[in-house]
Amino acid sequence: MESPRTKALFLPLIGSLLLLPPALPAQRRRRKADICPYCRNDTDLLRRMGLVSHGPFPFAQAPQAEAGKILTTKDIQKLLAFEHFRWIETKHFKIGSAMGSYSIQEKEKKYYRAQLERLKAMGLKKVKVKTRRLDPWLRLHLYALWAEDAYKEFLRVVRKTDDDFPEDPAHAFKTIDGKKRYMGQGPYLGQPAKYEILITHTMKAYRIFMARFLGRVTVRAQRWNFVQRGALFVGLSEEMPGHRNDRKMHNSMVFCLAINMLDGYRFYAYNLPVWLTEGMGHYFERRVSPRFNSYDSNEGSVADLRRTWRYEPKVRAMVAAGAYPPLAGIFRKRDYGELKFQDHLIVWSLVQFLADEHGDQFARFLDRMKGRINPDGSTGAGNLLGVQRRAFKEVFGWSPGRLEEAWKNYVLTHYPAK
């Protein structure tokens, strides 16, 4: 509705519009705040760094009422206009961040100088390695770097390269170990679209985004599958507990990405046992920093959270006393909400044991668990517990009892008592 007061303010301006200079070219009209001060949005520099652009690009997925509409980063910024998002597309990710600046603490100087040296060596010559303040653009570039680090690490764990995944779903099968294996529906570990990350500055923006595009009311970190696009999404906010700390935010992102990448590996068609997905998340984030840990929960439960970060002595003490949760019970759990604190410690330790001590076999084990196809061509999610039991036997040569003994021996010989 237009008010008389609005008219009174608008009419005197009409004549003055004739005095305005001609419109500038689109690139020159672009807000200075949208130009990265480190790369100047230089496409050649970005390409040399393994990056694509600072946007705009397709992102998220329109709600069902607007089915068919292709959302872009411009739509997200328009919806959340009270926050300033900066965007970056890498080889495997699309990232939007409204994070503010971060002051580096004295104890963090060495770590961040090493990370900033990496950015400078990649081509961002304007980066000041000894800065004590990470501005929003610098943080965006760091998170792009860290996301790609996680992707590279995941490829190491599954013993694959980008070339193993199909550009075209018509070439979804590849010969592995003498057998034709289904490798997914696209080039991003089997997904057709890049993995997406959104980090808001405020919980207000986070809630609006979640309600609008996911149909959810949540204040927790969120993973999501935009099914129509085949894009697996991670949502975070600086106003989540502890996430003003950049190291915590970094860990949370990697935890969520590890699970999304495992889900997306050879295409996300069914859910794996929660011990494996949660264990993978813990394994990845604790390789970044063991001090900041994430714990999943489902919609009807709250994760069993503890501040303890030194997992090794606790796991060792449980094993030495024979007071740990039975592995058979952990393997049968189907929901994140069923995992207690001790379960989290155990699933992390199991994945660490398998990935670090038996890496080649673990990669083959994951190939047995993912990308399963039934004779009729449908995805094979049936009887995963049976599949898992056979995979342990056929790949590692372990019965459930042998697996448990091998893991216990690893814990007692590798983990400190204190």
What are 125-181's pLDDT values in tens digits? Answer: 999 999 999 999 999 999 999 999 999 999 999 999 999 999 988 889 988 777 788
Q: Out of 238, 268, 298, pick the residue that ends a domain.
A: 268
Q: Out of 209, 233, 268, pick the residue that ends a domain.
A: 268
Number of domains in the chain: 2
pLDDT of residue 210: 96
Mean pLDDT score of the chain, rounded to an integer?
89
Q: What is the DSSP letter of 373?
A: B
State the residue range of the domain holding 227.
Answer: 34-268
In a domain, 27, yes or no: no
226 with 274, same domain: the answer is no
What are 267-277's pLDDT values in tens digits? Answer: 999 999 999 99
What are 320-377's pLDDT values in tens digits? Answer: 999 999 999 999 998 998 999 999 999 999 999 999 999 999 999 999 999 988 777 7
258 with 286, same domain: the answer is no
What is the H or E stretch that residue 253 is in? helix 246-264
Residue 67 has pLDDT above 90, yes or no: no
Amino acid identity of residue 269, one-letter, is A
Residue 297 has pLDDT above 90, yes or no: no
* Peptide bond before residue 63 is cis, with ω within 30 degrees of 0: no
* HEC sequence for 24-61: CCHHHHCCHHHCCCCCCCCHHHHHHCCEEECCCCECCC
Q: Which residues of 279-295 are buried (b: 16+ CB within 10 A; e: fewer)?
A: bbbbbbbbbbeeebbbb
289 with 392, same domain: the answer is yes
Torsion-angle region of 271 (φ positive above 0: left; ψ -120 to 50: alpha; else: beta): beta
Amino acid identity of residue 301, one-letter, is S
| 298 pLDDT tier (thresholds 50, 70, 90) | low
38 with 66, same domain: the answer is yes
Residue 318 has pLDDT above 60, yes or no: yes
What contacts 395, CB < 8 A, 6 or more positions away? 361, 364, 365, 368
Question: 5 or 301: whose pLDDT is higher?
Answer: 301
239 with 209, same domain: the answer is yes
For tokens 């889900």, what's the residue?
A: 263
In a domain, 368, yes or no: yes
pLDDT of residue 14: 28
pLDDT of residue 7: 27
pLDDT of residue 179: 79
100 with 248, same domain: the answer is yes
218 with 289, same domain: the answer is no
Q: Which DSSP string corresponds to 319-371?
A: HHHT-SPPHHHHHH--SGGG--HHHHHHHHHHHHHHHHHSHHHHHHHHHHHSS
Tokens of 91: 């080889």
Residue 29 has pLDDT above 70, yes or no: no
